[in-house]
Amino acid sequence: MRRFLIVIEKAEGNYSAYSPDLPGCVATGATREDAEKNMHEAIQLHVRGLQEDNLPIPESHSSAEYVSVS
């Protein structure tokens, strides 16, 4: 099982998501939950396409952290 970080951002009228480790793999949704679900499906399709094309599946190197400032 592989794990990929996804970033979900609020846009003007919806939410968008991407994975820094999977360039070009993006999704949107009307809600944050929709964007997350759609991104999960997009990653599955992206990885399946890489496998079908006999291309390597990238390793996940990204991480995220919140930083508090005063």
pLDDT, tens digit, 9 for 90 and up, residues 13-61: 999 999 999 999 999 999 999 999 999 999 999 999 999 999 999 999 9
End-to-end Cα separation, the chain, in angstroms: 39
User: Both tokens of residue 11?
Assistant: 């846009």
**CA 4 to each of CA 8, 13, 52, 62, 70: distance values in angstroms, whole numbers, following the listed order:** 13, 25, 19, 8, 31
Do the beta carbons of residue 19 and residue 3 sit within 8 Å? no
pLDDT at 1 over 90: no
What is the pTM assigned to this prediction?
0.89
In whole angstroms, give the CA distance from residue 6 to residue 24: 12
